[in-house]
Every structure is written in C-alpha cells, then in structure tokens.
C-alpha cells in the first residue's frame, strides 16, 4: 500500500511541477510567448522583464510576485500533500 502512495505523490508532484505559471500568465495577459522574448526563460524574472517593458515597472513587479508566489505554492502544496499521505519522517527525509 505504501508503494501506491509514493507513486501517487510522484505523479501528482510531476504534473503540478510541469505546469508553467510564467508561460500561462504571459500568454494570457501579455499575448507573448516568454520563450521567444526577454531572457527566453520560463520564469518569474523573465515575466518581470516582459511585463515591465509592456506595462510599466509596477505592473511588472506585481506580475513577478504573482508568478513567483504561485510557483512557490506549487512546491509547498506538493510537500503538504505528501505529509498528509505518508508518515512525516519519510517525507522530511525525502525533502532533504
């Protein structure tokens, strides 16, 4: 039974981690593919660069914070979910 929990956690974490917040945000609000502009990186800092050029620094900083916090929440959610399913000592050992 414990092996199924590992598989569920791994698959869910992989699916959540593969969701690119910066790509979705830039396509929805800036109508730009972030892989083709700025540093060509799918990250919060490139979102700041792209949005600042298009809409100003304040909007760029807000966009950066949104993408950064959503990405951080994705990681925190995966750890929280794993701690709900598995014993805490196993989860903490795997995080380290």
pTM: 0.81
Domain extent listing, the chain:
2-95
CA 90 to chain centre: 24
Tens of each residue's pLDDT in the chain, 96 residues: 667 888 888 899 999 999 999 999 999 988 888 899 889 899 999 999 999 988 899 999 999 999 999 999 999 998 888 888 877 666 666 665
Residue 62: how many CA atoms within 13 Å on its side-chain side? 6
């Amino acid at each position: 039974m414990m092996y199924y929990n590992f598989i569920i956690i791994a698959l869910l974490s992989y699916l959540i981690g593969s969701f690119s917040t910066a790509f979705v945000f830039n396509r929805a609000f800036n109508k730009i593919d972030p892989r083709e502009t700025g540093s060509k990186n799918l990250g919060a800092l490139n979102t700041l660069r792209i949005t600042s050029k298009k809409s100003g620094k304040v909007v760029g900083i807000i966009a950066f914070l949104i993408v950064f916090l959503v990405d951080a929440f994705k990681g925190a959610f995966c750890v929280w979910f794993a701690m709900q399913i598995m014993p805490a000592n196993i989860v903490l050992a795997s995080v380290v």
